[in-house]
Amino acid sequence: MPVQKIDIEGFLSLAVTHPLLDVRSPGEYAHAHIPAAYSLPLFSDDERKVVGTAYKQQGREEAIKIGLDYFGPKMRKMVEEVEMLLKDKQPASKTVLVHCWRGGMRSAGLAWLLDLYGFKVYTLAGGYKAYRNWVLQQFEKSYPFNILGGYTGSGKTLVLKELARKGETVVDLEQLASHKGSAFGDLGMSPQPSQEMFDNMLAMSLQAAMKNGPACIWLEDESQRIGLVNLPGALWNTMRKAPVCFLDVPFEQRLWHIVEEYGKMPKEKLVNAIIRIQKRLGGLDTKNAINYLLEDNYKESFSILLKYYDKYYSKALQNREGWNDLVTNFECPTVDAKENAMLIQNSRPTIRAGKS
C-alpha cells in the first residue's frame, strides 16, 4: 500500500497507537516537537544548513543531490532503528507516522525508504507547521474550567493531584511549565521547556482532558506568566472567567507548609529568589527576610514573604471581572490534600459552575 498523506486530526489519532517519527534536525526537535514524537533526523543541524543553502543558491535539484549524499549512508541504520521501535509493539504492527517541517522532501525521503522496506507509512500533510496551527487553535476553544485558588502555601498542587486520583479531570499547568509560579518556583524543578514546547504539551493535555467530555477540567489559579513561559492569551481569558474554588487555609498552617517545602532548599538559591523580588518586596523586608534566612530562622523569613504573596494574590484575584460572583470560599483548617479535595467534591453543587 503506498504512502498516505493525512491531516493533523487523523495523524494525532494514529499517533496514540503507532510510532511517530520526527525527521527534522536535532536542533529543531530540541527546541520543540510533538510530545509523542521520536527524533529520527534525516540530516544533522550542519547538514540541514548545507542543504538549505544549496536550495537557495543552486536550486532544488542540486539540494536534493547533496541531501542524497547525506541520506544514502544512513538508510540501513534508519530502517533498523525503526524496526527496534516496533519490536515490542503489541499487537505486532509495521505502521509508522512520519513528519518534517512542512511535509516536504525530508518526510517524503524517509517515507519512501520505509515504504520500500515494507512498512505502512503515513505522512502529515503540512508537516510540523500544520501541527503548530492546530496547537494554536486549541487555545481558542471554550473549556469547562474550574479554577483551584488559594494563597501561597495552601497546597493547591497536592489537592489537584488528589482530585485526579479521585477521578477528576486535571491539567497541571505547573508540571507542564516545570515551574511553581513564584520567584521560588524553579527550585527543585527540571529546566523549563521553550514557550513553543510548553504550548505543544498544553494543547495535547487539553485535547486529552476533553476526550471523555468531562463536566469540568480542574486547573490551578496561575498568573499568565509561569517562570519563563506564558499561558496563551485566549486560554488565559477563558480561565479568568471560570469559577474559582478558593482554599481558605489559615496563615500559620500555610507558613509551616512552606517552611517544610522550601526549608530544605539551598540557602543561596533562596536568597537569590528573594533578591529577584526586592523591588516589589521593599528594601527593609528584603533585608529582614535575608537576614532571618541566614540566621536559620526560616519561619520569620518566610512569614515576610508569605505576607507579600498574600497581598499580591488577593489583588490578582479581585482583578477578575465579576470576581465576587466567580469565587466560592472553602474554609480549610489545615493543609491536608485528601480532606480539602473531599471538601470540594462534596460541595460541588455550590460551585458556581454556571459562570464558566
Residues 13-41 have pLDDT tens digits of: 999 999 999 999 999 999 999 999 999 99
pLDDT at 346: 87
pLDDT at 320: 87
Task: Name the class of domain 4-136.
Answer: alpha beta
Say how far apart CA 49 and CA 60 lie, in whole Å: 14
Locate the domains of the chain by residue range: 4-136, 142-355
pLDDT at 328: 93
Pick 89 or 355 by higher pLDDT. 89
Whether 100 is catalytic = yes
Q: What is the pLDDT of residues 44-95, one digit of tens each?
A: 999 999 999 999 999 999 999 999 999 999 999 999 999 999 987 766 689 9
pLDDT at 95: 94
The distance of Cα 238 from the centroid of its chain, to the nearest Å, equals: 17
Which of 134-148, 158-172, 183-197 is least confident? 183-197
Q: What is the pLDDT of residues 105-139, one digit of tens each?
A: 899 999 999 999 999 999 999 999 999 999 999 99
Say how far apart CA 313 and CA 222 lie, in whole Å: 9
pLDDT at 189: 87
pLDDT at 324: 85
Residue 350 confidence class, pLDDT cut points 50, 70, 90: low
- Asked if the model's pLDDT at residue 351 lies above 80, the reply is no
- Asked if the model's pLDDT at residue 354 lies above 50, the reply is no
Q: Which of 149, 150, 151 is nearest to 302 (CA)?
A: 151
Q: HSE on the CB side for 173, CA within 13 Å?
A: 26
pLDDT at 353: 46
Pick 175 or 349 by higher pLDDT. 175
- Quote the cell numbers at residue 338: 485528601
Which region, left, alpha or beta, applies to residue 176 given φ > 0 means left and ψ of -120 to 50 means alpha?
Answer: alpha
| Amino acid found at 354 | G
For the chain, give the secondary structure using H, E and C: CCCEEECHHHHHHHHCCCCEEECCCHHHHHHCCCCCCEECCCCCHHHHHHHHHHHHHHCHHHHHHHHHHHHHHHHHHHHHHHHHHHHCCCCCCCEEEEECCCCCHHHHHHHHHHHHHCCEEEEECCHHHHHHHHHHHHCCCCCCEEEEEECCCCCHHHHHHHHHHCCCEECCHHHHHCCCCCCCCCCCCCCCCCHHHHHHHHHHHHHHHHCCCCCCEEEECCCCEECCEECCHHHHHHHHCCCEEEEECCHHHHHHHHHHHHCCCCHHHHHHHHHHCHHHHCHHHHHHHHHHHHCCCHHHHHHHHHHHHHHHHHHHHHCCCCHHHHEEEEECCCCCHHHHHHHHHHCHHHCCHHHC
pLDDT at 342: 95
What number is the average pLDDT over the span 220-235? 95
- Quote the cell numbers at residue 175: 508540571
- Quote the cell numbers at residue 141: 476553544
pLDDT at 100: 95
Q: Are 96 and 119 in contact (CB under 8 A)?
A: yes
**Percent of the chain residues past pLDDT 90, beyond the cut:** 85
| 100, 216, 245, 332: the active-site residue | 100
pLDDT at 355: 39
- Quote the cell numbers at residue 57: 543558491
Q: Which residue has the cell 518526510?
A: 107
Indicate the pTM of the whole model: 0.92
Say how far apart CA 287 and CA 293 lie, in whole Å: 10
pLDDT at 164: 96
Q: What fold does the segment set 142-355 form as a domain?
A: Rossmann fold (3.40.50)
Say how far apart CA 12 and CA 18 lie, in whole Å: 10
Q: What is the pLDDT of residues 255-300, one digit of tens each?
A: 999 999 899 899 999 999 999 999 999 999 999 999 999 999 999 9
pLDDT at 352: 53
pLDDT at 183: 83
Q: In what order do the strands lie in the sheet with 95-99?
A: 4-6, 120-124, 95-99, 20-22, 38-39
